[in-house]
Structure 1
Amino acid sequence: MCARHPDRPTGLRCTRCDRPACPECLQPASVGQHCVDCLAQSSRTAPRARNIAGASRTGKSVLVPGLIIANVAIFALTVAMAGSLNANYDSWLFRAGALVPAAVGQGEIWRIVTSGFLHIGPLHLAFNMFALWIIGREVETVLGRSRFVAVYGVSLLGGSAAVMLLSNPLGFTAGASGAVFGLMGALVVLLRRLKMPAGQVLTLIAINVGISLVIPAVSWQGHFGGLVFGAAVTAALLYLGVGSPNRRRVQVAAVAALTLLTFVLIGLGIALI
């Protein structure tokens, strides 16, 4: 009798567990046929598919839409507080969160992070969010969510560190550009690792670097820092510990080291003010 259907006589058996099973409860296997219980057990114990960075494969991007929603919501709040679409930098929230090196030197350390979620006017917001949508989703789906957070966070901090070191201490900087440039650097490293052409992304980076250098109001320092640290952390995630059972630990250590480096540079920037 079938083990799952006691009322059904059968002469068939599962080649894995050797229990009797009716035709309805059996599925063809590479060797013989397996019952539905064995198939269910094997699907639970089978190793999950891993991506190139060693993470479980991510079906679709969820962090990038979340980041965009957060940036748009914060921008809308600054507009409402300032009563102006283009002069939203007059809001209390913007003044309290923008990256001002001298203010960071006075202990307002939160500015190195909050500045990455503030934008000056709708065009600034639109450009950064469009770039984040196009590039960020690719990076998130290939690297996985936790590693995307690492790349985005280290890129943001790297951009802030460069601003602290190289910018006017009394000037202010805002925008997700540093993190977005970090994602551009990450995408170049990803394409090289996958042995795919990176010419288009490199051209895009070159154009944006040119714009950063030509237009005085654009923070080339933040872009440069984000690009360098974004590429560095992605290279660490993709190349360090490959084939090692401790690969995840190696990756965590590398991300921690790069994060620490950004804070060392920020501290150096404070000392030079």
Structure 2
Amino acid sequence: MDCLAGSARAVPRWRNVAGASRTGKPVIVPGLIVANVAVFVLTVVTAGSLNRNFASPWFAEGALVPALVANGEYWRIVTSGFLHVGPLHLAFNMFALWIIGREVETVLGRARFVAVYGVSLLGGAAAVMLLSNPLGPTAGASGAVFGLMGALFVLLRRLKLPAGQVIGVIALNVVISFTIPQISWQGHLGGLVFGAAVTAALVYPGAVAQNRRRVQIVAISGLALLGLLLIGAGAAFL
């Protein structure tokens, strides 16, 4: 994947394919990993168990439960993305975030990366609100991580680099999402679709260079609003 970052840096005028300037080493991805690990440690300590950390009151107050979101507990849309059930769940998501997230942040730049991650989180939550058990709790950074997978695929296509490996990883994870019980395929697919969509809006601006940022802001805002509207629709039907 190093060729992805290399191709992005090769764009003239110190601007990459998304219009971002060089940002050096990624800082958002390590920050997100630290935040997720810190929240996990908090749930382990308050639950008194490593593998049953979901018994923590913090977990109960932060997991995404559609019926509770519909009842006004909207913070769960965000907090659920930082909660994990057991060390394996955390380790898998953080490994994927580290491997994929660094590449995406390097290419998009920090602000755009945050936009992709945040919109993917909203997209995953929207799918859960619309398609999941209203009383079932959902937790994990998987929706946002799937969004980064979608982002990486779009970036590779935009840079005309081979995307076969990424397609294989996405396909494998989609199959796993549907075949292993207690995995939120809704959150995964929602994050994947929204992550790919917002990245496409960033790297295919459809406008001349001087209007690129304006087009990007409008596109990101529109997709974020769509995610919120779908969450609201899911809440309204409960």
Q: TM-score range by the shorter chain?
A: over 0.9
Task: Quote the sequence identity (%).
Answer: 76
Give the corresponding residue for 1:188.
153
Give the SS at the match of 1:122: helix
Q: Is 2:72 the partner of 1:117? A: no
SS at 1:246 equivalent: helix
Relative to structure 2, which stretch is displaced further, 51-60 or 228-237?
51-60
1:7 corresponding residue in structure 2 = none
| Contact in 2 for aligned 1:155/1:182 (Cα 8 Å) | yes
Could you say which residue in structure 2 is the equivalent of 1:156?
A: 121
Helix, strand or coil for the counterpart of 1:218?
A: coil
Letter of the 1:112 counterpart: I
User: Which residue of the partner structure matches residue 168 of structure 1?
Assistant: 133
Equivalent position SS for 1:229: helix
Q: Is the Cα–Cα contact under 8 Å of residues 241 and 251 in structure 1 kept in the other structure?
A: no
Residue 216 (str. 1) matches residue 187 (str. 2): no
Equivalent runs, 1:1-273 vs 2, <5 Å: 49-273=14-238
Query: Deviation per CA, 1:157-213, whole angstroms, max 9, x where unpaired?
Result: 100000000000000000000000000000000000000011101100111111100
Three-state SS of the structure 1 residue aligned to 2:209 is coil
Post-superposition, which runs of at least 4 consecutive aligned residues in structure 1 deviate over 2 A? 241-244
Gaps of 5+ in 1: 1-46
Question: Matched residues in 2 for 1:53 and 1:205: separation?
Answer: 23
CA–CA distance in 1 between the matches of 2:132 and 2:47?
A: 26
Q: Which has the higher mean CA deviation after the structures are superposed, 198-207 or 47-56?
A: 47-56
Residue 242 of structure 1 and its aligned partner are, at CA, apart by 4.5
CA distance in 1, matches of 2:227, 2:102: 25
Calculate the TM-score normalised by the size of structure 2: 0.94
**Letter matched to residue 189 of structure 2:** F
Corresponding residue SS for 2:24:
coil
Higher relative contact order (CA 8 A, sep 6+): 2
Q: Structure 1 residue 271: deviation in Å?
A: 1.4
Relative to structure 1, is the Cα distance of residues 49 and 242 closer, same or farther in structure 2, using a 3 angstrom cutoff?
farther
SS at match of 1:142: helix
Measured after TM superposition, the shift of residue 51 of structure 1 is: 1.1
CA contact (8 A) 1:98 1:115 kept: yes
Q: CA contact under 8 A between 2:207 and 2:215: conserved in structure 1?
A: no
Greater CA radius of gyration, 1 or 2? 1
Higher helix fraction: Structure 1 or Structure 2? Answer: 2
Structure 1: distance between partners of 2:225 and 2:60? 27
- Separation in 2, partners of 1:113, 1:241: 31
Q: Could you tell me how far apart the structure 1 residues matched to 2:32 and 2:207 are?
A: 30
Q: Secondary structure, in 3 states, of the residue corresponding to 1:245?
A: helix
Number of matched pairs: 227
Deviation, structure 1 residue 244: 3.1
